[in-house]
Amino acid sequence: MSLFGTKKTEASIHTKTWTVMGIVIFCLLVTGIFIYTFQISLLLMAGIVLAVYLRMIADKIKKWTGWKDMLCYGMSIIITLIILIGLGWLIGAKVQGQAKEMVQQLPEMKKRIGAAVDASPFVKKLVGKYTAGWSEGEKKDSAAATTTSQAGADTSKNNQQNSVTDSSKQNQQPTTTAQPEAPPSSGGDGLSSILKSLFSSTFGLLGDLYAIFFLGIFLAAVPREYVNGMVSLLPASAQDKGRKTMEKTGLNLKKWFKGTVYSVLITFALTAIGLLIIGVDLWLILAIIAGLMTFIPNFGPIIALIPAIMVGFLQGPQMALWIFILYFFVQLVESNIITPAIQKRMLDTPAALLLFFQMIMGALSGGWGVVLATPILVVLMTVVKELYTGKKEETVIEEKTKEPEK
């Protein structure tokens, strides 16, 4: 009996060992695939965000009308397209013109900023290494113009002397003209290279947007089927908990998206009104950039401030200072009044944790990582709270209720 029990125990140990090894190898394989396809995972997250938006619109239509789900979903896509086409018809031409003008004036912006920095020793000490060479374009142009004029003057003098001494030799002498230096580039190539470096992945920027668009449409069409498919991969004992966790995650993503949309619209309105008041020419494109950059907490306002300051220098250093004050005021209002008021009703994310997570995502995957850091953090916080923190809190509450009253 003891011998049989020993053999059974050894067989059980071997089975458990192979099971543990299989689990470890599977986890390592899944981790390796995830790391190798991390950029594609980010596109999937962006598609989920788009699907959340489409389902929000569809749910509102269904609540108001009582129509069938697929009809409401189709209406959400149609409404979105109507809004985009309407905005393009109303302000598309103006936005395109201002964007083109901004790109064309980029070299002039850099020259004026470089000249303003060089004029102040204190400012040059702070940011001189970032603007080094910006004002050299103007100096090169003036030097090229001076060289050209001097060469022309010398050529005319030589021609006059030759005409007095020997007119026949003058006709035989070859004439040379000074070639002016090529004008500086318009800056469009540099801007596009920055965008490509920020939003680079397997498919390129346009390919990413194409993939996100269709992923969002397919995920929003039948979300229940995808949830059921994910839940079916879990053990039977964990399927109810997994379903509740996924539903809670979707709800928190909707809350985050609503709060973000409110912040974007309010920031756009405040920035547009302020730029119109102080008299900035490219107010519309700058306000749109400021509103869209609100989608990226912490780093977005700084990114939006850079082109605004550069445009301000075209109208003088004083205008650039007014724009800086305006953006600082808008950011102060958005961070201390708008966002807290929205987060009371929507979803609150810890600022320090979000900043740290944005830096990690930016280091791992560039621009897409920074843009999608907030929704990814919302998903991670929800999963951790539902599977670990929430269960721990329930255990503590149960233990407190079991304690006898003293």
CA 332 from centre of chain: 21
Token pair belonging to 39 = 């950029």
Confidence of residue 184 (pLDDT cuts 50, 70, 90): very low
The three-state DSSP-derived secondary structure of 333-347 is: HHHHHHHHHHHHHCC
pLDDT of residue 401: 57
Least confident of 2-6, 32-36, 168-172, 317-321: 168-172
- CB-count exposure of residue 110 (10 Å: 0-12, 13-18, 19+): buried
Half-sphere exposure of residue 214: CA atoms within 13 angstroms, side-chain side: 5
pLDDT at residue 11 tops 90: no
* C-alpha to C-alpha distance for 166 and 313, rounded to whole angstroms: 55
The pLDDT-based confidence of 350 (bands split at 50, 70, 90) is: confident
pLDDT of residue 399: 53
How far is the CA of 264 from the CAs of 34, 111, 176, 214, 359, in angstroms? 32, 32, 60, 24, 22
Which of helix, strand or coil describes residue 366? coil
Task: Round the CA-based radius of gyration of the chain to a whole number and report it.
Answer: 32
Q: What is the mean pLDDT of residues 373-382?
A: 90
pLDDT at 161: 52
Task: Decide which of 8 and 278 is more confident.
Answer: 278
Task: Taking the CA atoms of 310, 312, 317 and 322 in sequence, report the sign of the dihedral they define.
Answer: negative
Close Cβ partners of 327 (under 8 Å, ≥ 6 residues apart) = 271, 290, 301, 304, 305, 308
Spatial separation of the C-alpha atoms in residues 23 and 26, rounded to whole Å:
5
Q: In the numeric block, which tokens belong to residue 365? A: 């995957």
Q: Mean pLDDT check: name the lowest of 6-20, 30-44, 219-233, 344-358.
A: 6-20
Judged against a pLDDT cut of 90, whether residue 276 lies above it is answered with yes
What percent of the chain shows pLDDT beyond 70? 71
Cα separation of 291 and 338, whole Å? Answer: 13
Alpha helices in 279-372 (DSSP H): 283-293, 300-314, 317-333, 339-345, 351-365, 367-371
pLDDT in tens, 111-149: 877 777 777 777 777 666 667 767 665 445 444 445 545
Is the pLDDT reported for residue 99 higher than 70?
yes
Phi-psi region of 196 (alpha: psi -120 to 50; beta: other; left: phi over 0): alpha
Residues contacting 347, CB < 8 A, separation 6+: 252, 255, 256, 259, 378
Token code pair at residue 310:
């550069």
Cα 301 to chain centroid distance, Å, stands at 11
Lowest-pLDDT range of 164-168, 201-205, 355-359: 164-168
Q: Report whether 312 contacts 322 (CB < 8 A).
A: yes
Of the candidates 251, 263, 261, 232, the one whose C-alpha atom is nearest the C-alpha of residue 338 is: 263
Ranges assigned E (strand) in 45-94:
none
Predicted structure pTM score: 0.69
Per-residue pLDDT band for 286 (boundaries 50, 70, 90) equals very high
**Residue 322 dihedral angles phi and psi, to the nearest 5°:** -60, -40
Average pLDDT rounded to a whole number, residues 271-276: 94
- Per-residue confidence (pLDDT) for residue 6, from 0 to 100: 58
Highest-confidence range of 136-150, 267-281, 292-306, by mean pLDDT?
A: 267-281
For residue 273, the model assigns a pLDDT of 95
Percent of the chain beyond pLDDT 90? 22
- Reduced DSSP (H G I as helix, E B as strand, rest coil) percent helix, strand, coil of the chain, to 5: 85, 0, 15
Residue 110: name the closest of 128, 125, 127, 131 by CA: 131
pLDDT tens-digit profile of 202-219? 566 778 888 889 999 999
Q: Which two structure tokens, joined as six digits, stand for 289?
A: 């950039």
Q: Does pLDDT of 183 surpass 50?
A: no
pLDDT, position 154:
54
Are residues 192 and 181 in contact, defined by beta-carbon separation less than 8 angstroms?
no
pLDDT at 76 over 90: yes
Average pLDDT, the chain: 77
Q: Which residue has the higher pLDDT, 102 or 321?
A: 321
**How far apart (Å, rounded) are the C-alpha atoms in residues 350 and 358?**
12
Question: Tokens 């749109």 — which residue?
Answer: 288
- The domain limits of the chain are 93-134+235-399
Number of H helices, E strands in the chain: 19, 0
